[in-house]
Amino acid sequence: MSQDAVPQSTLPYPPVHQDKKFVVLSDWDGTITTYDSNDYMTDFLGYGKDKRRAGNLEILSGRVTFRDAFREMLESVSQNGHKFEECKQVLKDNIKLDPGFKEFYRYCKSQDIPVIIVSSGMEPLIRAILSNLVGDDAKDIEIISNSVDVHEDGLWNIKYRHPSSHFGHDKSQAILPYRNLTDPPLLFFFGDGVSDMSAAKHADVLFVKEKEDGENDLAAYCNREHIPHVLFQNFAKALPVVRSIVEGAKTPKDWFDVGRA
């Protein structure tokens, strides 16, 4: 399939927010959380970190597709005998929230700015972890992601939103409908890794998370492709940037020139 073609979605989308001035879309794993949950499963329950990192670098180079490498990652967990409910509990016990996200979300809610999770992960895992970490506010946060097929024996496999796309979930398809609105909002997108490459060039303001472990794959991609972006360490650092744009004190270009939250 041509990557310029619109991939058919196997899963529904929430309605587009047609009357907003600003919309926040964010990757989940490793962006809103401090450790990517799929990486965590692969590193500790699957074939391990070294092989996962080698696969990520192959994706970044274009030698393999994200869809195929990500499926292989997750299959290594399931094929090791780890059932879906076990994985869910392991992640609830170990995955933590970016320390600034709750305050960031409260600010967005106070300004009537929707916050939408756009993820290559699986919705049941995201929803379980989100509810565990955020509490009652979790029910108000929309999730656009992949899903999962759980078999009678408890083993499982990912169900891609866009199986014909090289990304499995082409995140640009969560952004592009806003471009067709008569009065489109300004779109903020937050990401960190190879799963966010499909969305990177379509946001008005792209935030790229800096990782202490050096796994800065989205930053490497944006630098290679000359995509303007703002580096951020956590949502506490990103909030003043978003606030300054929402309040009109600064423009996206001002922050692209600075380059860092």
Amino acid 60 reads: L
What is the Cα–Cα distance from 55 to 72, expressed in whole angstroms? 9
- The pair phi, psi for residue 64, each rounded to 5°, is -135, 160
* DSSP code string of 23-62: EEEE--TTTTBSS-HHHHHHHHHSS-HHHHHHHHHHHHHT
Active-site entry in 4, 19, 29, 140: 29
What is the Cα–Cα distance from 88 to 127, expressed in whole angstroms? 10
**29 is annotated as an active-site residue:** yes
Q: CA separation (Å) from 6 to 34, 136, 137, 149, 177?
A: 32, 35, 32, 24, 11
What is the Cα–Cα distance from 259 to 210, expressed in whole angstroms? 12
What SS3 class is residue 83?
A: coil
Active-site entry in 4, 19, 27, 204: 27
Candidates 174, 160, 139; CA nearest to 23 is: 174
Would you name the residues annotated as active-site residues? 27, 29
